[in-house]
Structure 1
Amino acid sequence: MKRTSFADWQCSVARTTDLIGDWWTPLVLRDASRGTTRFDDFQASLGISRNVLSQRLERLVGEGMLLPRPYSLRPPRQEYLLTEKGRDFFGVILAMMAWGDRWLADGEPPFPLRHTTCGHVTTPQVTCAQCGGRLDLATVEPAGPADPDRERRPGARAAP
């Protein structure tokens, strides 16, 4: 089955899904954010096949999220470092983690986080860049077009 591309949609959620919308890409980025840089280490951590891992790393390099850097000439080997764009994805990982800890974890979160600035164990949350208040469905509304990609979705009818 051919995968639908969302790369040309105006919606940032759709475009992000187009980039990370498979099982492995978010996990590769999660491991990279934990300090994994080498192919064999990604493979051992994830249990992913070599060809799938190669494809995911190539895509993340092409998207500017990882930067390959040689660390051995014989045999030729490279490590993969997060770029600024890749490091910025950590907020997405934190949001996924917070949701999973609340709705999917059996008991305590499997990987608690400590905020190094204050030293407290914390739960990630999304906050307003202006006032610091928590953002959730009850406190956010569209400030622009509600659904610029409505016409692109299969089965969508034109707006009245």
Structure 2
Amino acid sequence: MRIALYQPDIAGNVGTIMRLAACFSIPLDIIMPCGFPASDKQLRRAAMDYGDRAETVSHANADAFFDARTEAGSRVVLLTSSGTCALHEAEFLVTDALLLGSESAGVPPDVHARVAKRVRIPMTPGFRSLNIAVAAGIALHEAMRQTGTLPE
């Protein structure tokens, strides 16, 4: 199991997700470019002292990310408000990469077309989306629960 971020815009969200990845001992993939400098103060503050303990892999672009996932025999599951499958109905594999789009634009159509599954987190009608760090935590927990990989 791993989390992947497509061209994230907000340093604080990436830092929070780095902390999430460290706490659950899962890798974090970041598909470049990011909308902020790697030295961003908000990134360091949100990651706290967990940032150095997160296994983070940067990919130059979406092609490099998808090539790496294909080589590893891993499928990519996109979390999207337009997902065709509700999170609680999705079946996850221990090798899945949970992909989240940028805060401002999500992912482009060509990335949508390349994923194995599109999953949405059900919400009260009238609401469009969650913060990506919150969505990552909800989805990761459900995927790890299903695959029996939650830490004790």
Q: TM-score, normalised by structure 2?
A: 0.28
- Structure with greater strand share of residues: 2
Using the size of structure 1 for normalisation, the TM-score is 0.27
Structure number, greater radius of gyration: 1
